[in-house]
Structure 1
Amino acid sequence: MAILSKIRERSMFLIIIIGLALFAFVLDPSTLGDFFNSNKVNEIGEINGETVSRQEFATAVDAYKQQAGSNVSDMQATKTVWDNIVRKKIYQNQLSEAGITVGEADVWNEVINAPSVKSNPQFLNEAGLFDETKFKQFLADTKENNEQMWSAWSNYMNQIRDNAERNTYNNLVTAGLGASLKEGEAEYFVENTKLNSQFVFVPYSTIADSLVTISKSEVEAYVKANPTTFKVDESRDISYVKFDIVATPEDETAIKNDVATLIEDFKSATNDNEFLNENDSDINLDLGFKYKNSVNNQVSSEIFEGSKGDVFGPYKDQGYFKISKVVEVAKMPDSVKASHILIPFVGSQRATPDITRTEDQAKKLADSILNVVKRSNRKFADLAKEFSSDKSNSDKGGELDWFNYNRMTPAFRDFSFTSKKGDIDVVKTPFGFHIVKIDDQKNNQTVVKLATYGRKIVPSEATENAVFQKSEQFALALSKNKNFSDVAKENNYATKPAIGLKVLDENVPGLGNQRNIVTWAFNNDTEIGSFKRFDLEGSHVVAFLTGSTEKGLMSAEKATSRVRPVLVNEKKAKLLADKLKGSSLEDIAKANNTTVRTANGVTLKSPTLAGAGSEPKVVGAMYNAEPNKVYTNIEGSRGVYAFTLTNKVLPTALPNYETKRKTISEGRKRLTFKMYEAIKKASDIEDNRANMYVGN
């Protein structure tokens, strides 16, 4: 009975739903299937009729992020993966239409001929030659026993396939992108023909801008006539006020005084590391030696005149208030010159795949080499060439350039700077065992070890609350239908714009990676005039939506700054047309209170006119002009021209134009990226990623 009751209660709701579906079917029968079918919801896009599912896309994004690690953001991964999928499917479509298939054998040949596979010692036989059977067995074992490694190999082979498909198509197309000798000849003459002319130039600036009126409809007409230039994606414009949460002078004073209370306890502490931990130091203990120039200059002089056990501070340094205790005073060089022989082992950093010795074996080898060089120092260089894995200096006998204290890994550094010239010993580092010989040292000076307690300078809770209240009050004023700019001005708050945010952007100018703000700006319920407060790391932001642009052609308002100068010059050219009438250049020059100018040796490749600047359209007109004929009302980039071609000097003909033909041909074959962009432009691509990353 309870179930029947619930059905009765919801029957009207079900009737409405079914009714809406049937109504949609009457208008368009194809919509009924979509109404009850979630396929559309699961599509992320479509490329030339081939669907890209959400699952396919999400899997590819996850794989890419695992491969790239923490260096890539979600939106960067999204963009890269989408671009890769589009490229892959476009090339596959082109090859399919051409009836060309990249088969398994093609991919396999690419894989086994890759240097990283063919030269890998793991896949070589006793004769040192690549053994395909060993490689196949390795892949079979990997697939069976190591899922993570098999995934990496699968991705690698898929990448090989994608590259093979792309290269196959590009090679087929570029094979037909040659050039004829006639083209080489034409290019040679176009580039090297020199034009001598006389001209009169009347700049657009001779007519005041105030005499020219440009209407909104004219801007709209120009945009519609040039759709490619003014095509825009969906975007949003916002303004925002940022309320930074920073420590006040009062906060700093309180922190400084608090740190100062620890000085006496720090002096008497017998275990400095425990003291830092028990008193919640915001910096860790660092007992490396410090040179005077590396210590804060507020206290460096006092510290280097102090004694062991003295405590100095509090002093402000790199966002902290610190107190430093002198732990040790010593003398050390500031630079060392040394030589080394590096013996790595399995598991040491940067060990190459051919390293098979264990740590114990590496230690024994290092000790035996040490005994040899101690008996005969002259053998060091030869042994470095024979045994050292550091090939950057093994050819120089293991000799390193001069290095300072902070350049080397700690164990290597400590031995080099605390030993004496001529000392030799084995030093273990993460890279293996080093036989180190101290060749020279210079600039011996006082150094200190410091135990430093630090407290980060952060705003107090009262300061955080005060900043929060400011942002809340600003948002509250906006909720009362007050103007964003007016409220900001009343409170002396600086407003900052972020213009042209795209739906998959994550960076907001001035705020950095703030994907949540972009998502809000594109939500269906966010309209122009909407606002929202965001709590960011170290600040609060109140954002206000100021503009919304839909996908299509740029609006007249946004296009005006680009279109107006073009239309102004066009109208000025018409106004100047009457001034450039006359039977000779002298008459035209006199009527415009200017002079006849001369241009000699001008080419289409370098279309610069003396006193006027770069004018490719005008020089192009000169190239095709009849000699000694007056041409008027030639519109250029900077003004209107009248000219006479006085002489056209052709270059000396060449015996053949093979070199020029070859240059043109090779240049065309390098344009594979432009070729891909042209195919992409001609493809039918539907990108619905926004539906996956913007909440509605």
Structure 2
Amino acid sequence: MAILSKIRERSMFLIIIIGLALFAFVLDPSTLGDFFNSSKVNQVGEVNGESISLQEFTAELEAYKQQVGNGVTEMQASKNVWDNIVRKKIYQNQLSEAGITVGEADVWNEVINAPSVKDNPQFQNEVGFFDEVKFKQFLADTKLNNPEMWGAWSNYMTQIRDNGERNTYNNLVTAGLSASLKEGESQYFADNTKLTSQFVFVPYTSISDSLVTVSKGEIESYVKANSNDFKVEESRDISYVQFNIAATTEDENAIKASVSELIEDFKSTSNEREFLSENDSDTSIDDSFKFQREVNATVASEIFKGAKGDVFGPYKEQGYFKISKITDVTSMPDSARASHILIPFLGAQRVAADVTRTQDEAKVLADSILTVVKRNKNKFEDLAKTMSSDLGSGAKGGDLDWFTYSRMTPKFRDFVFEGNKGDIGVVETPFGFHVIKIDGQKNKQTALKLATFSRQIIASESTENAVFQKSEQFALASSKDNKFFEVAKENNYVTKPAIGLKVLDENVPGLGNQRQIISWAFSNDTKAGDFKRFDLEGSHVVAFVTAKTEKGLMSAAKATSSVKPILVNQKKAKLIADKFNGTTLADIAKDNNTNVRNASGINLKSPTLSGAGSEPKVVGAMYNAEINKVYKNIEGNRGVYAFTVTNKELPTALPNYEAVRKSIAESRKTKTFAIYEAIKNASDVEDYRSNLYTSN
């Protein structure tokens, strides 16, 4: 009994733990077995030693997904929520160290001064001023009676607090990011000083690559010496073969024949909508008229010679075999011009918040306006300006200018294109009641209504089975001695690489969102050389792990492509420097079988040397050089240089440098994102989310 009592006392705790375990199971069923490992139960990360709990993360994740709907994938949502939590904790940590607190009063003042609150008539008194007591009562009632709305208000106030903390910190930092007049002066002279120079340039390409060797050990040493540039996250490299499930010629012929068998029944039916439904058409009925240019070009001319009741096809269009029946023939313009007065009602689409009239009231108002403008069409323009809720056209007297048949909502479209110039009437659409005046029509021509039966061209069951067997045979053959690439080559299968996949990625190049493949590749049980077959939508994929990279420094093998050219150029620079023995530029040029070049108008803002390209390091050296002194062995981007600065033309001094100083200061104050990134890089951030999203 004592044990049962304890269980009852802690039932809520057990429910939460079980709920979190089920959440992890939904994310990845294979995590259930080891979910109750303490690190997984308690946290998904840390920021400067402060834990980010699983409860906190999952609560914010669910709130975020409810807010954005289906606009983001699971991994995108996870990343955005993680970034938001990390940002919040970093700012809170910075403010805490500075002894600054964003309190309840700060949040409250921000909320009640927001225009959406302060200007809301619901929270105003009899004379139109904001009433704080009314707003407090509204929140109290909402909290008591409307949990969903209260949740939204709570989230809003939490966002206010988070934004307040971020803005407070950024404002404090940027307040100190000014600049001195001396900095303004230095910047002005650096940007506007022009140099004239003579130089000798020997490109690295003048030394054959065969004369220079770079060892693996040298690459490893360079990586270690420049470790900050070669830190890598854990990643996986895979290759895969994709077996697409596509309809064969035999499949297409069979589908075409099955559609042809329906032609006679389609001709005789009097209810085309019912016919499409009963015969499982893959597309639904379209009640709009079509002009010839809108119909499949291969059959359009033939169809537009037909009469009502005629059936055409089968023809192939956008992955379907189709037969089309003419259900109506008319003559109508392909474009029209109209004016309207829109009278919306409560519940209509895009209705303004201040609209309170009912649907019946809106109909009465629209009919009364119709009566007036029918008596006197000249009043239409003035009424549109004063009565229409479509402010864009209302300002122009209701004029919508010229538009095509397919642009407007169906009932509006039908009135304008099936009526005649000068007609005036009332039409109801999802946006409200429209008083419409047809102002013009042009390019009248034949238009048809077509009922179209469609059958999608997809692979047959036998074809699907054949593709499955092919992928399965490849997987089995690859398993023997890990001969993935050999077997693929023997069968002329195309292998595609996906390099550098990260643990929380979801897209595999060439396959799109395939989180399951990435999760498998990062599983603790998956080793380099392992393979697996995956059944995707429309294809089967056999994936093969070619390499596993652990978090840390990039390996010499992977760094070779970026490091080797640097080391090669360094060694070539030494070989070139051995020939820079002359004391004059002419001697150096002669020894290297080249010429002395001239350059003028050089400045730090555009560090380009004529005939050599962009060389910021060399131009920087020139800027600080003494006049007429020879400088040698200056290593640039493309080669080795010797130079002499023959003239340094300083700009005209300014009376003061306030404008430049102000520009520097303003530029610094826009660097809040860079400030945050610097703080984040200096913070100790640990991300354990991979435990939730990978198979272990």
> Partner amino acid for 2:322?
K
How far apart are the structure 2 equivalents of 1:122 and 1:462?
A: 66
> Partner amino acid for 1:347?
G
Name the residue aligned to 1:108.
108
Give the Å deviation of 1:540.
Answer: 0.3
> Contact 1:426–1:436 (CA<8 Å) still a contact in 2?
yes
Give the Å deviation of 1:376.
Answer: 1.0
Helix, strand or coil: the match of 1:580?
A: coil
> Contact 2:194–2:603 (CA<8 Å) still a contact in 1?
yes
> Contact 1:121–1:354 (CA<8 Å) still a contact in 2?
no
> Contact 1:422–1:438 (CA<8 Å) still a contact in 2?
yes
TM-score by length of 2: 0.94
Give the Å deviation of 1:271.
Answer: 0.9
> Contact 1:219–1:556 (CA<8 Å) still a contact in 2?
yes
How far apart are the structure 1 equivalents of 2:255 and 2:418?
A: 38
Give the Å deviation of 1:126.
Answer: 3.0
Alignment of 1:467-482 (within 5 A): 467-482=467-482
- Mean CA deviation greater in 134-143 or 35-44: 35-44
Name the residue aligned to 2:9.
none
How far apart are the structure 1 equivalents of 2:432 and 2:42?
A: 52
Give the Å deviation of 1:37.
Answer: 8.1
Please report the RMSD computed on the Cα atoms of aligned residues, expressed in angstroms. 1.2
- Mean CA deviation greater in 110-119 or 246-255: 110-119
- Mean CA deviation greater in 340-349 or 113-122: 113-122
Name the residue aligned to 2:185.
185
Alignment of 1:468-617 (within 5 A): 468-617=468-617
Name the residue aligned to 2:336.
336
Give the Å deviation of 1:580.
Answer: 1.1
> Contact 1:632–1:641 (CA<8 Å) still a contact in 2?
yes
Alignment of 1:198-209 (within 5 A): 198-209=198-209
Name the residue aligned to 2:219.
219
> Contact 2:200–2:589 (CA<8 Å) still a contact in 1?
yes
How far apart are the structure 2 equivalents of 1:531 and 1:36?
A: 29
How far apart are the structure 1 equivalents of 2:273 and 2:388?
A: 38
Q: Deviation per CA, 1:386-407, whole angstroms, max 9, x where unpaired?
A: 1111111211011002110111
Helix, strand or coil: the match of 2:236?
A: strand
Q: Deviation per CA, 1:488-541, whole angstroms, max 9, x where unpaired?
A: 010110000000000000000000000000000000000000000000000000
How far apart are the structure 2 equivalents of 1:307 and 1:184?
A: 81
- Mean CA deviation greater in 128-137 or 449-458: 128-137
> Partner amino acid for 1:535?
D
Helix, strand or coil: the match of 1:333?
A: strand
- Residues 40 and 458 of structure 1: CA distance in aligned 2, closer, same or farther (over 3 Å): closer
Give the Å deviation of 1:77.
Answer: 0.4
Alignment of 1:61-80 (within 5 A): 61-80=61-80
Give the Å deviation of 1:125.
Answer: 2.9
Helix, strand or coil: the match of 2:308?
A: coil
Helix, strand or coil: the match of 1:396?
A: coil
Give the Å deviation of 1:139.
Answer: 1.8
Helix, strand or coil: the match of 1:305?
A: coil
> Contact 2:332–2:444 (CA<8 Å) still a contact in 1?
yes
- Residues 647 and 515 of structure 1: CA distance in aligned 2, closer, same or farther (over 3 Å): same
Alignment of 1:8-19 (within 5 A): none
Unaligned runs of 5+ in 1: 1-34
Q: Deviation per CA, 1:162-209, whole angstroms, max 9, x where unpaired?
A: 111100000000000000000000100111111111111111111001
How far apart are the structure 1 equivalents of 2:128 and 2:357?
A: 20
- Residues 391 and 36 of structure 1: CA distance in aligned 2, closer, same or farther (over 3 Å): closer
> Contact 2:40–2:691 (CA<8 Å) still a contact in 1?
no
Name the residue aligned to 1:134.
134
TM-score by length of 1: 0.94
Structure 1 position 97 matched with structure 2 position 92 = no
> Partner amino acid for 2:218?
E
How far apart are the structure 2 equivalents of 1:365 and 1:41?
A: 62
Alignment of 1:34-49 (within 5 A): 38=38, 41-49=41-49
Unaligned runs of 5+ in 2: 1-34
Give the Å deviation of 1:482.
Answer: 4.0
Give the Å deviation of 1:252.
Answer: 0.4
Alignment of 1:313-332 (within 5 A): 313-332=313-332
Q: Deviation per CA, 1:26-75, whole angstroms, max 9, x where unpaired?
A: xxxxxxxxx99835642101111211111111111111111111111000
- Mean CA deviation greater in 137-146 or 447-456: 137-146
Give the Å deviation of 1:157.
Answer: 1.2
Give the Å deviation of 1:380.
Answer: 0.9
Name the residue aligned to 2:11.
none
How far apart are the structure 2 equivalents of 1:487 and 1:56?
A: 49
How far apart are the structure 1 equivalents of 2:36 and 2:63?
A: 32
Name the residue aligned to 1:172.
172
Name the residue aligned to 2:388.
388
> Contact 2:90–2:680 (CA<8 Å) still a contact in 1?
yes
Name the residue aligned to 1:422.
422
> Contact 1:42–1:54 (CA<8 Å) still a contact in 2?
yes
Query: Identity of aligned pairs, percent?
Result: 73
> Partner amino acid for 2:111?
V
- Mean CA deviation greater in 108-117 or 371-380: 108-117
Runs of 4+, deviation exceeding 6 Å: none
Alignment of 1:18-33 (within 5 A): none
Give the Å deviation of 1:274.
Answer: 1.1
How far apart are the structure 2 equivalents of 1:522 and 1:482?
A: 19
Helix, strand or coil: the match of 1:340?
A: strand
Alignment of 1:240-251 (within 5 A): 240-251=240-251
- Residues 378 and 125 of structure 1: CA distance in aligned 2, closer, same or farther (over 3 Å): farther
> Contact 1:335–1:405 (CA<8 Å) still a contact in 2?
yes
Name the residue aligned to 1:437.
437
Alignment of 1:622-637 (within 5 A): 622-637=622-637
> Partner amino acid for 2:313?
G
- Mean CA deviation greater in 91-100 or 117-126: 117-126
How far apart are the structure 2 equivalents of 1:630 and 1:159?
A: 62
How far apart are the structure 2 equivalents of 1:308 and 1:509?
A: 50
Name the residue aligned to 1:356.
356
Q: Deviation per CA, 1:122-158, whole angstroms, max 9, x where unpaired?
A: 2233323322222222222222222222111111111
How far apart are the structure 2 equivalents of 1:41 and 1:145?
A: 34
